[in-house]
Amino acid sequence: MEKTSIKAEKREVSGKGIARSLRRKGLIPGVMYREGKSLPIQLDKPELVRFLHRSGGEQVIVNLQFPDGESRLALVKNYQVDPVNRELLHTDFFEVSLKETIKVVAAIHIMGEPIGVKREGGALQYGVSQIEIECLPDRIPGHINVDVSELGAGHSIHVRDLVLPEGIKVLTHGEEVVATVALPKEEEAAAAAAETAEPEVIKKGKEKEEGEAKAEKK
């Protein structure tokens, strides 16, 4: 997994006024969490913004380097931007250890055009866009590619069908649908008609049997 290094400093004071002062100096206030504890930090804004743009929302480990030579590995937990000018305001990090598994969310990327769309007139429908996984931090996939090119009309790909690298445990329920190709409208209508007609046939058959039984008694 790709790792990026960003310079960071521990800060002793906090508050809205301090945060505004830091941003004027080209720094971004942040907090690093670990086992219920939090450490206020500040980071170089240009470096941090470049990192967030490159990662594109994917889970990427960042190596936070402090002036005293200490370094800590972390994942971006959350970040805040100004709703008006979209400027970065604050970033939260979650410290990780390469020896301990963690639970994270991985995005799903759908690839290819299904056979059921190209040849059978179906329509591709999307299910879950991300799944929860558990693994060591250096095994976290940036995203999960799902090839749907062989998917026929009326068929689906479920979470249980995903093949992931060794060491990654899927926590999302296996029955969740990732992608499905809906049947063409004519076939859907025919299937619906068959479903509604079947009980009627059974009902009539039952009525006939009851009528025959009454006739025999007479």
- Three-state secondary structure string covering 160-171: HHCCCCCCCEEC
Q: Does residue 211 lie within any of the structural domains?
A: no
Query: Do 81 and 110 belong to one domain?
Result: no
Q: Same domain, yes or no, for 80 and 127? A: no
Q: Is residue 213 domain-resident?
A: no
Q: Is residue 212 part of a domain?
A: no
> Both 116 and 85 in a single domain?
no
Hey, which bits of 82-215 come out as E strands? 88-95, 102-111, 123-126, 130-135, 143-147, 156-158, 169-170, 177-182
The sign of the dihedral angle between the CA atoms of 116, 117, 122, 125 is positive
pLDDT at 6: 92
Residue 30's pLDDT is what?
Answer: 94
CATH number at residue 134: 2.170.120.20
Domain that holds residue 138: 102-183
Q: Which residues of the chain have pLDDT under 50?
A: 202
Q: What is the DSSP letter of 112?
A: S
Q: Are both 145 and 119 inside the same structural domain?
A: yes
In terms of domains, do 120 and 153 share one?
Answer: yes
Per the domain annotation, does 163 fall within a domain? yes
pLDDT of residue 167: 95
Instruction: Let me know whether 106 and 90 are in one domain.
Output: no
156 and 89 within one domain: no
Unique residue bearing structure tokens 């009528």: 211
Q: What is the pLDDT of residue 139?
A: 93
For residue 38, tell me if it sits in a domain: yes
pTM: 0.74
pLDDT at 4: 85
Classify residue 159: in a domain, yes or no: yes
**CATH code for the domain in which residue 58 is found:** 2.40.240.10
Q: What are phi and psi of 46, to 5 degrees?
A: -55, -45
Q: How many domains does the chain have?
A: 2
The last residue of one of the domains, among 60, 95, 130, is: 95
Among residues 95, 120, 155, the one where a domain terminates is 95
In a domain, 216, yes or no: no
